[in-house]
Structure 1
Amino acid sequence: MDGMAGIWTRDTAWRQGHVLTTEAIQALGLSHPETPDSTCVVVISHDCDLANDALQIEPDVEVIVGRHLPKGDGNYFWAKAPRRLHVDVLQNGTAVVVELVATAKRIVPKHALAAFFPDATYSFPGKSLSALRSWLGVRYNRAAFPDPFVDRLSQSKVDKRLAKIIEPVGNLLSAVYFDVDSGKEIDHSDGSPYDLKIVLAYPPGDDPEQTADDVEKVETAIADLFEEKHFDQTISKWNGVALKACMSISEDDLRVSRARLLTQWRLEYMTLKADEEQHGAFT
């Protein structure tokens, strides 16, 4: 029963993606600091670590103190931003948006959490749980692009414009991949443009044709943006960055071997410096 002392065992009911009850949140002091009434605390420890009852080895459970939002931001769905995640969760069968921030991780001793059961009114759909797991790994496993390449996108403000293009339909896109110079290290100190190919990956959803049409509009908008900012019409040459292709592809058609050759463009490159905080939608 919630609130009563318990013993942590391998048969614990807790799993990654489970949500704490209001009673557990209050008892453990895990309310959201800004909006306590909208608090949603999510367990992020791996299932194997949760099942480990050798408390001298795995004494704690890692959680994130998140919160409910009235509406999600497309730029934060599908683990596109490493510091902030918006994810669809079911509460009493109704879809709600939960926001998780990487710096809001907390440690809860297993012996303390053993006194409570997960909130049975919540559940993470399979795709949402997969997005959560991907996001947890992204912070420690993300590629860096050449600084001059990032600077050129920043100077032309393509980075922020790209974020604004993606935001309205960001929930449709599972990933934005960049192929810069076909993965080769090329010296562009002479001012020559970086060759860039962009791949927009998306889950087909319940209506694959409509989803494909919606993503194709994003594809066209991105191509137009790069042509506006990086293509000199007077001399018919690319300046800074040459967009060689922008294409969309369903996850069902994106081969693993091909995905391995691409580098995911995370939203931190578009909007943030390392010492800046993320506050809601981009401006």
Structure 2
Amino acid sequence: MDRERIIANGWKQGACLHIRDLPTEHQQYLIDEKGWSDDDLLIVVMQSCDVVNSSLEKEPFIELIKAVPSDSYNGQLINAKNPRKLQIEAPQPLGKSHLLLHIHDRIVLDRRFIETTVLNPLCLDGEQLQILKTWLGARYNRASFPDKFMKWANQGISKLRDRLDKQVDREHICKYVEGIYMRVEPDRELDDGGCYDLHCFALISPSTPPKAQEKIQAAMEEFVSKLPEGKISVQTEDSLVMNTAEVTVQEIVEYKRFYFDELSLKRGESL
């Protein structure tokens, strides 16, 4: 395949096209067999270097996801909050304000058509593309915890999420938090009457101002206070807040990073 021609045609990660702009055989498959609309968009989700790869043997397919244009807004679906549905801002030339995506609407198509198909100038901006990539990646790499632990810890986790979204001196606390790390023992579903041991800490930047550090400490303490006694036992010998200069790689690999990335995407910070 002609790599330079594919690039000139506008094919890259985040590029968008309407289903009606596909070759006829692909349109028929998506409209007749899957029941999609020719007004629906497809967004390229595979890496740009793979999209334009000159070898059809190495990369025979192109990976895309359907996006439905809409002017409606749902705050529960933005910033990768929901693992199955996502709402992102639409490219400005589209004429609609948002796009709605479903995790199960990913497809692969024979890649040969991109060599002769020129795209319209529709492409996600860098911020929206990052949200999309984070959302797709979290499907596979976000940390998982036992269902019973999550049920018991839900109230504390919700409170912690709310507290980390607050401001201190016009700066959001999550700006200074690199991640919330947890180790649950045993890391499996418990029989009736069991109790989980929880080791946890907020990892912060060494440059965190004292006032922000106090707020993060208070948020972690409130999280711990909301955990049900007799069901989750927090190992209090551990510090609830640690900075990156105090933690070694060997120590941190024993923990799982809890998925709070919707706060990172919302604020453009590191959490």
Shift of 1:26: 8.9
1:118 aligns with 2:111: no
| Percentage of identical aligned residues | 17
Residue 139 of structure 1: aligned partner: 139
SS at match of 1:112: helix
Q: Number of residues paired by the alignment?
A: 237
1:242 maps to 234
The one-letter code of the counterpart of 1:240 is I
Q: Which residue of 1 aligns with 2:268?
A: none
Q: Which residue number in structure 2 is paired with residue 17 of structure 1?
A: 14
What amino acid maps onto 2:60 in structure 1? P
| Rounded Cα–Cα distance in structure 1 between residues aligned with 2:40 and 2:248 | 37
Structure 1, gaps ≥5 residues long: 1-7, 203-207, 232-237, 268-283
Q: Distance in 2 between matches of 1:128 and 1:248?
A: 31
1:130 aligns with 2:130: yes
Q: CA deviation at 1:140?
A: 3.4
Distance in 2 separating the partners of 1:112 and 1:42: 15
**Structure 2 CA distance for aligned equivalents of residues 188 and 135 of structure 1:** 30
Q: Given that residues 90 and 123 in structure 1 are in contact (C-alpha distance below 8 angstroms), is that contact kept between their aligned partners in structure 2?
A: yes
1:230 matches 2:223: no
Query: CA-atom RMSD, angstroms?
Result: 5.3
Within a 5 Å distance, the mapping from 1:6-155 to structure 2 comes to 8-11=1-4, 12-13=6-7, 14-21=11-18, 23-24=20-21, 27=24, 28-29=26-27, 30=30, 36=37, 39-69=40-70, 70-73=72-75, 77=79, 79=80, 82-92=83-93, 96-125=97-126, 127-145=127-145, 147=146, 150-155=147-152
Normalised TM-score (structure 2): 0.59
- Distance of aligned partners of 1:107 and 1:152 in 2 relative to their CA distance in 1, 3 Å threshold: closer
In 1: Cα distance, 2:94 partner to 2:248 partner: 33
C-alpha distance in 1 between matches for 2:43 and 2:227: 42
Separation in structure 2 between the aligned mates of residue 200 and residue 34 of structure 1, nearest angstrom: 47
- CA deviations on 1:30-79 (whole Å, 9 max, x unpaired) are 46x798487331101222221223224322211001224532445652x5
Deviates more, 1:62-71 or 1:157-166: 157-166
Identify the match of residue 195 of structure 1 among 195, 198, 218: 198
Give, in angstroms, the shift of residue 158 of structure 1: 2.9
Contact residue 156 and residue 226 of structure 2 kept, 8 A: no
Q: CA deviation at 1:222?
A: 7.1
Cα gap change, 1:26 to 1:110, in 2 (>3 Å): closer
Task: Decide which of 253, 256, 263 is 1:263's aligned counterpart.
Answer: 256
Q: Answer whether contact 2:69 2:96 (CA < 8 A) is retained.
A: no
Deviation at 1:15, TM superposition (A): 0.5
Q: CA deviation at 1:109?
A: 1.8
Q: 1:4 is matched with which residue?
A: none
Q: Answer yes or no: is the 8 Å Cα contact 1:165–1:222 preserved in 2.
A: no
TM-score with structure 1 length normalisation?
A: 0.57
The one-letter code sitting in structure 2 at the alignment partner of 1:108 is L
* Gap regions ≥5 residues in structure 2: 167-173, 261-271
